[in-house]
């Protein structure tokens, strides 16, 4: 859900005290949602709000970071029966939501209308140990051209576009991170252990980058764009 996009009324609705008697399922999985990957730090989902499909009430058990890639009309209903339709946004839209929110979300458009699409990252409670940046190495972010689009105590989110034939020099990822691609292309990556790979990336693709990875990147085709979610 997009609390920050719709103002104080909607925020207040979502943070009403949860009922103690019903046992609500977690938000995911559900119809229109598929798991992309899962590890000790995150579970990552691709979510589509399908029009005309009834959805259950659920409670978000984890803090959640998300990248909304397409707007579609949705209807949000609280357990008390209050209904809100969030306002449109321009994708990609970076978002964060605290755990504990209870509601249901359903596509509210007509057949043929765009359906809302997002990559959702459930943030597990595990926390990394201290990490020391190797002497002489730069962190992955900030970097030239990268925009910090959201930051709090759990995540930092960067919007970055790789320019074709313009290298991103050697750096170390000092946070575990999830990369969500907004535009496709092909990226050459050289790794600190000496191997390299050239891989295509595509719209709505997501990948996990472990803390401590040392690499060099260059877009060899196209101008890939991603929102990178660094996990604090």
- Give the model's confidence band at 130: pLDDT under 50 very low, under 70 low, under 90 confident, else very high: confident
Q: Which fold has domain 147-231?
A: Jelly Rolls (2.60.120)
Cα 57 vs. chain centroid, distance in angstroms?
22
Q: Quote the pLDDT of residue 128.
A: 78
**Cα–Cα distances in angstroms (integers) from residue 13 to residues 100, 128, 222, in the given order:** 13, 33, 43
Per-residue pLDDT band at 169 (split at 50, 70, 90): very high
What's the whole-number mean pLDDT along residues 113-126? 96
Prediction pTM value:
0.89
pLDDT in tens, 10-26: 444 444 444 455 799 99
Task: Using pLDDT thresholds of 50, 70 and 90, give the confidence band for residue 96.
Answer: very high
Boundaries of CATH 2.60.120.10 in the chain?
8-123, 147-231
CA angle centred on 230, ends 201 and 188, rounded to 5°: 30
| pLDDT value of residue 21 | 54
The Cα 73–Cα 91 span in angstroms is: 14
Q: Topology of domain 8-123, per CATH?
A: Jelly Rolls (2.60.120)
Q: How confident is the model at residue 100 (pLDDT cuts 50, 70, 90)?
A: very high
């Amino acid at each position: 859900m997009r609390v920050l996009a719709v103002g104080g009324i909607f925020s207040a609705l979502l943070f009403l005290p949860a009922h103690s008697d019903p046992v609500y399922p977690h938000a995911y999985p559900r119809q229109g949602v598929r798991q992309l990957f899962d590890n000790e730090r995150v579970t990552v989902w691709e979510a589509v709000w399908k029009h005309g499909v009834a959805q259950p009430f659920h409670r978000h058990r984890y803090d959640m970071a998300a990248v909304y890639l397409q707007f579609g009309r949705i209807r949000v209903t609280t357990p008390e029966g209050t209904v809100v339709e969030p306002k449109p946004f321009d994708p990609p839209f970076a978002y964060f939501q605290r755990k504990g929110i209870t509601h249901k979300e359903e596509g509210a458009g007509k057949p043929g209308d765009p359906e809302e699409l997002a990559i959702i990252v459930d943030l597990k409670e595990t926390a990394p140990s201290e990490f020391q940046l190797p002497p002489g190495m730069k962190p992955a972010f900030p970097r030239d051209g990268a925009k910090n689009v959201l930051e709090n105590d759990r995540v930092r989110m960067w919007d970055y576009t790789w320019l074709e034939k313009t290298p991103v020099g050697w750096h170390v990822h000092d946070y575990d991170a999830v990369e969500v691609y907004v535009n496709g292309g092909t990226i050459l990556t050289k790794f600190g252990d000496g191997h390299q790979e050239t891989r295509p990336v595509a719209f709505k693709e997501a990948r996990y980058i472990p803390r401590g990875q040392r690499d060099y990147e260059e877009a060899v085709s196209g101008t890939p764009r991603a929102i990178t979610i660094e996990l604090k």
